[in-house]
Structure 1
Amino acid sequence: MPSPNPPASVLHALRRVMRPLVRLMLKKGVTYTYFADMLKGVFVEVAEQEFRLDDKPPSDSRISLITGVHRKDVRRLRDAPHDFSEQLPEAVSLGAHLVSTWLSTPPFCIRPGQAAPLPRLASAGGGQSFDALVGHVSKDIRARVVLDEWQRLGIARIDGEDRVHLETTAFVPQKGFDEKAAYFGHNVHDHACAAVHNLTADGPAFFERSVHYDALSPASIEQLRDAVSADGMQTLIAFNTLASQLEARDATGPDAQQRVTIGLYFYSEASAPPPTAVVDESGTKHP
């Protein structure tokens, strides 16, 4: 049975975590009523999948007990079809794989981390063309379809010599809200999973570290932003190259069933103002 008094530190952290999510919901028209019903479904789903006894599915009554969701709602939500997937959409997953290959696999890269400009057609570039890149990753989709979509999303461009240039060092579309939202869900989910594991699970912790300062000028923030964009991306490219090599080595093994996310982020905003000192009648200052 859950504790009637959750730790205050957890409640404070959850409230802070929810603020940017609520900001997103309000900007995109997700009301409290809609979100609250969706959240009920998440409570029921997690309780059903992760809080079993002896690996047996919990009863509606037990789920109601540990979640606080009414038993009638539990039954309704357990019977409702799930209209979402834990996986990235196929187009996004394929795009990420293509960008990774372009950045790390000869002859498509100049060196690991630097994608080569590729002739658009195999008739011009042979095995070092954009046609060949797409064919290397998937035989089920035409390169022209990928290129048209990537131009729409700002991921690739064609120059005057009919060569395709990669415009980004990761599959992060400059346009295309649905694609950005897919990555938002993937990245925030995995970051949260690592942090929750480190708070609640035994065994080795996942790496999850940050540095933070609160007395910097706007010029210093821009200098840090540029440094993170340059050096941080080089770090991620190195991890991408290693992961690509390891995946190729593991591909035929029976235990190649683990996924990994390695992330890096940068955020800045105005610091909270220091508390104003209050002077009482005796002249003593209090924070």
Structure 2
Amino acid sequence: MHSPTPPTSLLQALRRVMRPLVRLMVRKGVTYTYFSDMLKGVFVEVAEQEFRLDANAPSDSRISLLTGVHRKDVKRLRSQSPDVGDDLPAAVSLGAHLVSTWQTTPPFCTRPGDPAPLARLASTGGERSFDALVARVSKDIRARVVLDEWLRLGIARVDEHDHVHLETAAFVPQKGFDEKAAYFGHNVHDHACAAVHNLTTEGAPYFERSVHYDALSAASIARLRDAVSSEGMQALLAFNTLAADLEAQDARSADARQRVTIGLYFYSEATAATVPSEDAAPKIPA
């Protein structure tokens, strides 16, 4: 069931994975004591939900055996409700849906991936207005409320002709820590799930590839960053259009529903000084 001694390679990988998370926690005042108690709850939750021998819930003793969490703590933690849910907050989910509709659905876009400036009010813009966009996605919230929040977050701007412009190609607020934290949890969770699946589960792996180099100049990094921002976003917009079309088709069927996340990321940091080699070989995507 479990190896009594975890592989050294796994422990080294987990230590590296944890470093940026610990960096974030220290910066935001999350102490080791608080995090360790929260982590106990995660161990208990995962063992209870995903490591059952049959249809019955495992006993406190079995969860304690699997996780190393003391049985008294297991009992206490199982009696508590989880502090957070797995879904994106409603405001973030609505924002993402609105941006996707603006990017892909006429008359709100001139072509897929090219959102049109929208008249702020339906009284002046009709179906090609911000009022109409919000009404297309939700009947329960006023467009003015959404627009005020988007102006605060830097997602949209209003020009001198009272037209609303989308300022970002995806719902990633430049301001608003809670909104960015929600996406942090969603994206890192799903990327980690794909990687863990590929490491532990037999069957078809999820697509998870990257390219990495370690002897680039700052100018080259800037060029790569611009290329990823431009070309990578075009790829994501294409996937977004396809997913939106497929979701519209699937709405007519009774099949079980599944969610999907498709991501792309870019990261760079300083490395130890190296001497360029004339025979340096290109890196193979990993």
Match status 1:209 vs 2:209: yes
What is the identity, as a one-letter code, of the residue corresponding to 2:22? V
Query: What residue in structure 2 maps to residue 23 of structure 1?
Result: 23
* Cα distance change of structure 1 residues 272 and 64 upon mapping to structure 2, 3 Å threshold: farther
Q: What is residue 142 of structure 1 aligned with on the other side?
A: 142
Instruction: Provide the residue aligned with 2:46 in structure 1.
Output: 46
Give the fraction of aligned pairs with identical amino acids, expressed as a percent: 78
Q: Distance in 2 between matches of 1:251 and 1:231?
A: 30
Matches of 1:83 and 1:269, distance apart in 2: 34
Correspondence for 2:199: 199
Aligned pairs (5 A) from 1:255-270:
255-270=255-270
The structural deviation recorded for 1:58 is 0.5
RMSD: 0.9
Counterparts in 2 of 1:73-84, with a 5 A limit? Answer: 73-84=73-84
The match for 1:241 is 241
Range that drifts further, 74-83 or 164-173: 74-83
| 1:50-199 to 2 correspondences below 5 Å | 50-199=50-199
More displaced, 100-109 or 255-264?
255-264
* Consecutive unaligned residues in structure 1, runs of 5 or more: 275-287
Change (3 A) 1:162 1:49: same
Partner in structure 2 of residue 279 of structure 1? none
Classify 1:107/1:256 alpha carbon distance in 2 versus 1 (closer, same or farther; 3 Å): farther
Q: Given that residues 250 and 256 in structure 1 are in contact (C-alpha distance below 8 angstroms), is that contact kept between their aligned partners in structure 2?
A: no
| Cα distance in structure 1, aligned partners of 2:264 and 2:256 | 25
- Aligned-pair distance for 1:256? 4.7
Amino acid at match of 1:125: G
Residue 280 of structure 2 is matched in structure 1 by none
Deviates more, 1:36-45 or 1:244-253: 244-253
Letter in 2 for 1:268: S
The whole-number CA distance in structure 1 between the counterparts of 2:272 and 2:242 is 40
Q: Distance in 2 between matches of 1:165 and 1:171?
A: 14
| Distance (whole Å) between structure 2 residues aligned to residue 192 and residue 67 of structure 1 | 20
Report the 3-state secondary structure (helix = DSSP H, G, I; strand = E; otherwise coil) of the residue aligned with 1:164: strand
Maintained 8 Å contact 1:154/1:174? yes
Runs of 4+ in 1 over 4 A off after TM superposition: none
Distance 2:255 2:168 in 1: 32
Aligned residues: 274
Task: Show the counterpart of 2:9.
Answer: 9
- State TM-score, norm by structure 1: 0.94
The SS at the match of 1:204 is coil
Q: How far is 1:101 from its partner?
A: 0.3
Mark the runs of 5 or more structure 2 residues left unpaired by the alignment. 275-286
Task: Give the letter for the 1:20 counterpart.
Answer: P
TM-score, scaled to structure 2: 0.94
Q: CA deviation at 1:82?
A: 1.6
Amino acid at match of 2:88: L
